[in-house]
Chains A and B, each alone.
Chain A
Amino acid sequence: MANFSIVGQRLPMVDGPDKVTGRGLYTDDLALPGMLVGKILHSPHAHACIRRIDTSRAEALPGVKAVVTGRDFPNRYGILPIGHDETAFAVDKVRYIGDNVAGVAAVSEEGARQALELIEVDYERLPAYFDPEETMKAESNWIHDEKPHNIEKEYHHQFGNVEQGLAEADLVVSERFACSEVTHAALEPHSTLAHYDPATDRLTVWSSTQVPYYLHLTLANVLGMPKEKIRVIKPLIGGGFGGKSEVIPVEVEAAVLSRQAALPVKITYTREEVFYAHRGRPIQIIELTIGAKRDGRLTGVKARIVQDGGAYCGYGPVTLLYSGALLGAMYDIQNVQFDGYRVLTNKPACGAMRGHGTVNTRFAFESLLDRVACELGIDPAEIRLRNQLQPPCITVNQLRVTSYGYPECIRQVVEKSGWGEKRGKLPYGKGVGIAGSHYVSGAANSIIRSEMPHSTVNLRVEDDATVTLLTGASEIGQGSDTIQLQLVAEELGVRPDRIKLVAADTERTPIDLGSYSSRVTFMAGNACLAAARNLRKQLFEAVARVWGVSADQLEARDDRVCAQNGSGKVMSFEQAVAAARQQFGTLEATGSYAPPAEARGGKFKGAGVGPSPAYSYSAQVAEVSVDTETGQVSVERITVAHDCGRAINPMTVEGQVEGSVWMGLGQAVQEEMIWNQGRLMNPSLLEYKSASTLESPEIVPILVESVDPEGPLGAKEAGEGSLAAAIPAVANAIYDAVGVRITSTPISAEKILKALRERQKPQARGNGGRR
């Protein structure tokens, strides 16, 4: 164990006190003089042409200061360069129930609401598409004219030779899996306050965003304003989970309304509007085949995935590519085939959600692998160990693996869960299941295909010997502010409270690509280390000159600088700063991080998604009991081991791991967006069934520290990688408990009951490991 003083400590999160006492300000808490309330008119139709919009009556309503429709700001945007298909408001056509038709800014909410009712829209309804497999057959009335047959993107990857691999297998199993659509359900609904000041021609935007930098670029594009005229500030965020990781309509809409009204405008979504903005985890239909030798070695995997994307591109192709890229990459499989289709339907757009793209395929793969193990008579934990990678290595789809704590994760959960004593040995109705998952520690390739650093951090030592840490990284509740502060404090050898953090303000902080793909600890963390080391170098140089020693004999720790040459010389951090100021004047440093070229993956079409400088790993054992009369599953305990490289703050890592598991369990057994002809039937937190505390099992987190060679002090991802395994672990535990395999999510009581009835009696149970 390395000798750290700040890193490895369970430091309370620096943003915690303001949040738990209610002092902290979220976007909706903000107000400006003269601020207007913005409201959005949403489409009542799933697919229709807009023949005419008449806003004159709305504009005439007293108190209404701006009414904006699609043609006023027609510049197209989208998070991906290949997917600029959204506009501030619909131009000529609406594509889902809830699509954005017009916006109003008024002096009161009631006035804005009344104004919306006065907008007259003449629609011509078009045939609409709701089913992902049916939409691909469409011959006309495509959702976007430039996307024939409603296929947004398709990818066909073949690594090795899958047909040969399957031919060599002793066992080949196939299954069709179907995953329902789930959403982030962050507590904070999206909110944006935009202030366009006509006197200076400047726009300032406070917004609930995970990606201030991309929002900045998008606003410049949509409003046709130069970037330097726009400032984006991220206040406190009440959870993102990916739902705020691309530009959301409300952000653009508040800005254009403010521009039009020349007054500040705030829009906070209702919960229903959050569901329309959505960008959550899509419906995926996964046809999966796995081949294995008698000894459990996997000879090939083949997946065909149809992904129901909703009406716009968003992150969709990236979701799909993650599904393919990470399909087989946590195991040593030499033959992998992936055929994926991201299709358009007349529903809200899907996008990035915690575990982006990897979750549904992991459910399918780990469920089917469990079946392979059972059919071959191999312990499901053992079959995973038999297929482990041998790092450092490069997977067949050209992902570089530098550290790999997965085998250790499996060993730990097997030991701590009592796997050996429980599997196949618990009474009927109770069971255990194991599964694994992995995730990127940041995408190695930026969305905007730029060569600039992905994270930059500036440090400035103030007169009072406090250190200002300027970072573009976005704290969204995941703990990134705390982690950056701990890394800088560690490297400078100062007390954490010496560091003042200024974050996520495009006018004041350097560029960071944002909080998505679990990139911040790794990338902003490395930038923090680089900046701190640059700063320390200046300090040491100054102190070395004072003492007449060599700078490489100095150490900074416990708020002091010490000579390690036996002289016993010690100087407080304040004194060191004073010395450095005398010599250098100001004391500032910068550091940045870009993933190395060898981590950026292959050259084939779609190769850009999946590569990461490092991967996290997770193994989980779920223990469940199934009520065989009602089909209801109760998850009693999850033992989870997560390879986070190094736990910079074990408390926040455990929090992230537990949160991931909990979120996975929601998808596993109860969460689902329910559609009826493109109409969302449960756009509320009452009817969308996120787990309550009563369904939340005991979660036993175990941290595995594989110390990645390139991670900041060895750290890797912690916030997403443990989500996916929770779902197949539960599915496999249900099989162990009652002998039925459910191949769709959520694994509802009704599905289990139906499967049990098909099996009739307990004696008729099939090939489980249970006899």
Chain B
Amino acid sequence: MSLPPFMLLRPRRLDEAVVRLADYGPEAMIVAGGTDVVPNLRAGLFSPRALVDIKGIGELGGIRFDPRSGLELGALTTLTAIAESSVVQEHYRVLAEAAGTVASPVLRNMGTLGGNLCLETRCLWYNQSTVWRKACGFCLKKDGTVCHVAPGGERCWAVWSGDTAAALMTLDAEIEIASPRGRRRMPLTEFYKNDGMDRIRLGRDEILSGVRVPARLAGYRGSYQKLRIRSAIDYPLAGVAVAMQLENGICRDVRLGLTAVNPAPLLVREVGELLRGQRFSPEAVEAAAHAVIRTGKPLKTSVSTPEYRRDMLRVFARRALTRLWSSNGGH
């Protein structure tokens, strides 16, 4: 399958890029590493008039850490750079682990953090060629009227399939968004709409330009657990991210994020309420794991069954919490 025709625009500055986006409106798409956009273009999922390639914008790169202000990540930072960053590994373990599980080494070298936070949602009925989708009458998400996953419903259940978003949510990350009107910040948790068709709160003329992680979460223990059939290449079928602060065996703070089971990455806030101030116990872990599977709602969007993915959420939640809580750091 060849790429459809489009105009390729390569702005060098962020203010230029957002003007370009504004010019083309809904007919423009942003591309950075291209690891998500290009296969989707080949599959005929998008036919933009203009692709705005932001890779050449120097100000969007880099990893900066300051013990007072925390971590700043440019949107173009590659997933490899994050996974291998000693600062991230040391202070924000859960993010390093999540970034290191994305796809494969080659794709992590190309794929960017911004791209991973803005991934298109995925579904077995959607990530197919035009010919394939046409043969089954298309689907709600693209060109059709029926959801094959939940027929009769009005909602699209295409699943959020990124790895880093859940990890960053557990770290209270904020994102920075640039537009012709300037820049704004938003908690990452508010960025996602939990709608398979319309996944993120990003205007047509906006670019996710960076991520900030507060200093107070530096040093949290972290673990990212990912379900997939192959140990590389695959998108997550379920994922659990946990960041935890311990003091003399007592859980001072904990956040648990889910991915790849709903149309958005989600924080399971109940886990914090259940565990804060507690000492490790299998019962506490079990209660938290139970909260996790009440939040995760996998459907038949992937080659694996919803039942198994739900089971694994419980196992992963249990594992991550046990590892972080009952060991000397889980590293």
Smallest distance from the beta carbon of B130 to chain A beta carbons, Å? 9
Please tell me which one of the listed residues B129, B232, B303 contacts residue A270 in the complex, with CB atoms under 8 A apart: B129
In this assembly, does B104 line the interface, its C-beta being within 8 Å of a C-beta of chain A?
yes
Smallest distance from the beta carbon of B322 to chain A beta carbons, Å? 11
In this assembly, does A85 line the interface, its C-beta being within 8 Å of a C-beta of chain B?
no
B-contact bits for A676-702, CB 8 A (1 contact / 0 none): 000101110011010111110000000
In this assembly, does B8 line the interface, its C-beta being within 8 Å of a C-beta of chain A?
no
Residues of A contacting B46 in the complex (Cβ-Cβ under 8 angstroms): none
Known: A272-B132, A681-B124. A694 touches B304 (CB 8 A): no
A-contact bits for B115-151, CB 8 A (1 contact / 0 none): 0000000001000110110111000000000000000
In this assembly, does A629 line the interface, its C-beta being within 8 Å of a C-beta of chain B?
yes
Residue of A nearest to B302 (CB): A687
Smallest distance from the beta carbon of A357 to chain B beta carbons, Å? 27
In this assembly, does B233 line the interface, its C-beta being within 8 Å of a C-beta of chain A?
yes
In this assembly, does B231 line the interface, its C-beta being within 8 Å of a C-beta of chain A?
yes
On whether the beta carbons of B232 and A750 are closer than 8 Å, the reply is no
In this assembly, does B312 line the interface, its C-beta being within 8 Å of a C-beta of chain A?
yes
Q: Which of A269-292 contact B (CB under 8 A)?
A: 270, 272
Residues of A contacting B308 in the complex (Cβ-Cβ under 8 angstroms): 749-750, 753
On whether the beta carbons of A42 and B131 are closer than 8 Å, the reply is yes
Number of interface residues of A (CB under 8 A): 27
A109, B2: Cα distance in complex, Å: 8
Known: A630-B315, A692-B233, A694-B232. A750 touches B129 (CB 8 A): no
On whether the beta carbons of A681 and B231 are closer than 8 Å, the reply is no
In this assembly, does A607 line the interface, its C-beta being within 8 Å of a C-beta of chain B?
no
In this assembly, does A12 line the interface, its C-beta being within 8 Å of a C-beta of chain B?
no
Smallest distance from the beta carbon of A623 to chain B beta carbons, Å? 18
On whether the beta carbons of A693 and B315 are closer than 8 Å, the reply is no
Residues of A contacting B233 in the complex (Cβ-Cβ under 8 angstroms): 686, 692
On whether the beta carbons of B303 and A674 are closer than 8 Å, the reply is yes
Residues of A contacting B307 in the complex (Cβ-Cβ under 8 angstroms): 750
In this assembly, does B274 line the interface, its C-beta being within 8 Å of a C-beta of chain A?
no
Residue of B nearest to A680 (CB): B132
Residues of B contacting A679 in the complex (Cβ-Cβ under 8 angstroms): 132, 135-136
On whether the beta carbons of B303 and A692 are closer than 8 Å, the reply is no
In this assembly, does A670 line the interface, its C-beta being within 8 Å of a C-beta of chain B?
yes
On whether the beta carbons of A629 and B129 are closer than 8 Å, the reply is no
Residue of A nearest to B39 (CB): A686
In this assembly, does B1 line the interface, its C-beta being within 8 Å of a C-beta of chain A?
yes
Q: Which of B299-316 contact A (CB under 8 A)?
A: 303-305, 307-308, 311-312, 315
In this assembly, does A110 line the interface, its C-beta being within 8 Å of a C-beta of chain B?
yes
In this assembly, does A97 line the interface, its C-beta being within 8 Å of a C-beta of chain B?
yes
A-contact bits for B1-28, CB 8 A (1 contact / 0 none): 1100100000000000000000000000
On whether the beta carbons of A692 and B312 are closer than 8 Å, the reply is no
On whether the beta carbons of B129 and A692 are closer than 8 Å, the reply is no
Residues of A contacting B229 in the complex (Cβ-Cβ under 8 angstroms): 670, 689
Residues of B contacting A692 in the complex (Cβ-Cβ under 8 angstroms): 104, 230-233
| Of listed B131, B136, B307, B308, residue having the most chain A CB within 10 A | B131
Smallest distance from the beta carbon of A39 to chain B beta carbons, Å? 10
Residues of A contacting B134 in the complex (Cβ-Cβ under 8 angstroms): 44
On whether the beta carbons of B304 and A750 are closer than 8 Å, the reply is yes
On whether the beta carbons of A689 and B230 are closer than 8 Å, the reply is yes
Known: A630-B312, A750-B304, A750-B308. A695 touches B231 (CB 8 A): yes
A753, B227: Cα distance in complex, Å: 14
A45, B137: Cα distance in complex, Å: 11
A753, B2: Cα distance in complex, Å: 42
Known: A97-B135, A692-B230. A682 touches B305 (CB 8 A): no
A694, B233: Cα distance in complex, Å: 10
Known: A44-B135, A670-B229. A682 touches B315 (CB 8 A): no
A679, B136: Cα distance in complex, Å: 9
A-contact bits for B229-253, CB 8 A (1 contact / 0 none): 1111110000000000000000000
Q: Which of B311-329 contact A (CB under 8 A)?
A: 311-312, 315, 319
On whether the beta carbons of B315 and A629 are closer than 8 Å, the reply is yes
Please tell me which one of the listed residues B2, B230, B232 contacts residue A110 in the complex, with CB atoms under 8 A apart: B2
On whether the beta carbons of A682 and B303 are closer than 8 Å, the reply is yes
Known: A679-B135, A682-B303. A694 touches B230 (CB 8 A): yes
Smallest distance from the beta carbon of A752 to chain B beta carbons, Å? 11
Known: A674-B303, A682-B303. A272 touches B230 (CB 8 A): no
On whether the beta carbons of B311 and A272 are closer than 8 Å, the reply is no
A97, B129: Cα distance in complex, Å: 14
Q: Which of A502-537 contact B (CB under 8 A)?
A: none
Residues of B contacting A691 in the complex (Cβ-Cβ under 8 angstroms): 230
Residues of B contacting A750 in the complex (Cβ-Cβ under 8 angstroms): 304-305, 307-308
A340, B232: Cα distance in complex, Å: 39
Residues of B contacting A629 in the complex (Cβ-Cβ under 8 angstroms): 315, 319
Smallest distance from the beta carbon of B88 to chain A beta carbons, Å? 23
B-contact bits for A27-66, CB 8 A (1 contact / 0 none): 0000000000000001011000000000000000000000
Residue of B nearest to A751 (CB): B308
Residue of B nearest to A690 (CB): B230
Q: Which of A742-771 contact B (CB under 8 A)?
A: 749-750, 753
Residue of A nearest to B315 (CB): A629
Residue of A nearest to B312 (CB): A630
Residues of A contacting B136 in the complex (Cβ-Cβ under 8 angstroms): 44, 679
Smallest distance from the beta carbon of B255 to chain A beta carbons, Å? 23
Residues of B contacting A670 in the complex (Cβ-Cβ under 8 angstroms): 229-230
Residues of A contacting B129 in the complex (Cβ-Cβ under 8 angstroms): 270, 272
A694, B311: Cα distance in complex, Å: 24
Please tell me which one of the listed residues B232, B303, B319 contacts residue A681 in the complex, with CB atoms under 8 A apart: B303
Residue of A nearest to B228 (CB): A689
Please tell me which one of the listed residues B135, B303, B312, B319 contacts residue A687 in the complex, with CB atoms under 8 A apart: B303
On whether the beta carbons of A272 and B131 are closer than 8 Å, the reply is yes
Smallest distance from the beta carbon of B282 to chain A beta carbons, Å? 14
On whether the beta carbons of B2 and A687 are closer than 8 Å, the reply is no
Residue of B nearest to A97 (CB): B135
Smallest distance from the beta carbon of B228 to chain A beta carbons, Å? 9
Q: Which of A645-694 contact B (CB under 8 A)?
A: 670, 674, 679, 681-683, 686-687, 689, 691-694
B-contact bits for A605-636, CB 8 A (1 contact / 0 none): 00000000000000000000000011000000
Residue of B nearest to A627 (CB): B315
Residues of B contacting A681 in the complex (Cβ-Cβ under 8 angstroms): 124, 303
Residue of B nearest to A674 (CB): B303
Known: A109-B2, A629-B315, A692-B232. A683 touches B304 (CB 8 A): no
A763, B124: Cα distance in complex, Å: 40
Residue of B nearest to A687 (CB): B303
Q: Which of B151-165 contact A (CB under 8 A)?
A: none
On whether the beta carbons of A683 and B132 are closer than 8 Å, the reply is yes
A44, B129: Cα distance in complex, Å: 12
Known: A272-B129, A272-B132. A753 touches B303 (CB 8 A): no
On whether the beta carbons of B124 and A687 are closer than 8 Å, the reply is yes
A501, B305: Cα distance in complex, Å: 51
Smallest distance from the beta carbon of B284 to chain A beta carbons, Å? 18
Residue of A nearest to B137 (CB): A44
Q: Which of A74-118 contact B (CB under 8 A)?
A: 97, 109-110
A145, B227: Cα distance in complex, Å: 46
A97, B233: Cα distance in complex, Å: 28
A437, B135: Cα distance in complex, Å: 41
Known: A42-B131, A630-B312, A753-B311. A694 touches B303 (CB 8 A): no
Pairs of residues from A and B, 5 with the lowest C-beta to C-beta distance, nearest first: A44-B135, A694-B231, A750-B308, A692-B232, A692-B230
List 16 A-B pairs, Cβ < 8 Å: A44-B131, A44-B135, A109-B2, A110-B5, A630-B312, A679-B135, A682-B303, A683-B132, A686-B233, A687-B303, A689-B303, A694-B232, A695-B230, A750-B304, A750-B307, A750-B308
User: Which B residues contact A (CB, under 8 angstroms)?
Assistant: 1-2, 5, 104, 124, 128-129, 131-132, 134-136, 227, 229-234, 303-305, 307-308, 311-312, 315, 319
| Other contacts beyond A683-B132, A692-B230: 12, CB < 8 A | A44-B131, A44-B135, A110-B2, A270-B129, A629-B319, A630-B312, A682-B124, A682-B303, A689-B303, A692-B104, A692-B232, A753-B308
